[in-house]
Amino acid sequence: MLKVIYVLDSFFPHTVGGTEYYTLYLAKYMTKSGNWVNIVVPDYTHPTGEKYVYEDIHVRTYYEPSKTDRDLLFGRKQPKAEKN
């Protein structure tokens, strides 16, 4: 069994496009093959992120501010890690 995480810029139901469809069907195939699959996407509105299931595929969001800190971009500051 593999643990697979697909990291995308956006995913269903918030965005519909070719990448979302491709990843959805790939994730479904991998799940049916007995693998653990999760999709991770940024969330620009909820500071805590969220978890949801879309067509039997687990999706997790993480908070991404719409304005990126320049110190973070240039590696002078560490990103805040999510606490489990």
CA 42 to chain centre: 6
- The mean pLDDT of 16-23, rounded to a whole number, is 91
- Cα–Cα distances in angstroms (integers) from residue 55 to residues 21, 41, 59, 83, in the given order: 12, 16, 10, 27
CA distance 77 to 73: 8
Rounded to an integer, what distance in angstroms lies between the CA atom of residue 1 and that of residue 41? 23
Q: How far apart are CA 18 and CA 45, in angstroms?
A: 24
- Residue 41: pLDDT above 90? yes
For residues 16 and 56, the model is more confident at 56
